[in-house]
Amino acid sequence: MRTARAPLFTLFLTLLLASGLNSPVMAQGHETATKYATKLPPSVELQYSIKAKQSGLPLSGSASVKWQTGDQKYSIITETHAMLVGKILDASSVGNIDDFGLAPDKFVEKRFRKPATTTSFERDSKTLRFSASAETYVLKGGEQDRTSASWQLIAIARAAGDAFKAGTEWKMLVAGRRDADPWTFKVVGPENIKTPMGDMLAIHVNKAPPADSKDQQLDLWLAPSLEWYPVRLKFSDADGDYVDQVLEGLKK
């Protein structure tokens, strides 16, 4: 089974230290998505600090996420910087708002010293295509890309309210650079998170890999007091390597 990677965090490690290793991929089945109620958060620019460990080596950096929405459209622009290296990743997702919530049109990712890749959600032909592979999927509604997925989850959480509680699961198909995977987010529960902006009560959400997979685990902490923006995100590997991102400021 191939290894999935998420923008910002995993790439911070693999690009800086391993030049971005890729595994063979195989298209998976695509089930019709669940149509969740959504409530989009206000536009914002988030600033994060990044700490990581790779093979015992500590790393640090910063990231910014600019979320904008209006007129039934949205855009997400992210940048990631590493100490001593500079910018190592640009990623963007743009699209419309439909009955499923976010409906991406294009996901572009530019890695350090690599050409940009484009994932296209062709709504007229109902086809999901990738510039980096020949894989295609039929668009059935609700599909996300790796940049939009967390913001779709935020919109779901804001609409769900008290129903977004420990033990509940929220599913979506998520497209990367070369293909797409089904993701399941499971709500762990409320936790107190320390940030440079102060202590914040946040809802911990986990995306664990399947039992037979070597995929990374993703943990998100969404703060209801801050429009459910993510105040912390962490990617963890089975060998103990990780990338941890904590909110240090925001601008509305």
Cα separations in angstroms, 156 against 19, 37, 106, 162: 35, 6, 21, 12
- Of 20-29, 101-110, 169-178, the one with minimum mean pLDDT is 20-29
| pLDDT of amino acid 193 | 98
| pLDDT of amino acid 19 | 34
The first and second tokens of residue 241, run together, are 């390597």
Instruction: Name which of 128, 101, 148 is nearest 6 in CA terms.
Output: 148
Q: Residues with Cβ < 8 Å from 133, sequence gap 6 or more?
A: 25, 177, 178, 179
Prediction pTM value: 0.85
Q: Within a 13 Å sphere around the CA of 45, how many CA atoms are in the beta-carbon half?
A: 5
Decide: helix, strand or coil at residue 18. helix
**pLDDT of 11 above 60:** no
Domains of the chain in start order, with CATH, are 9-16+33-251 (2.40.360)
In this predicted model, what pLDDT tens digit does every residue of 62-80 receive, in sequence order?
999 999 999 999 999 999 8
The first and second tokens of residue 233, run together, are 């995100």
In this predicted model, what pLDDT tens digit does every residue of 136-164 receive, in sequence order?
999 999 999 999 999 999 999 999 999 99
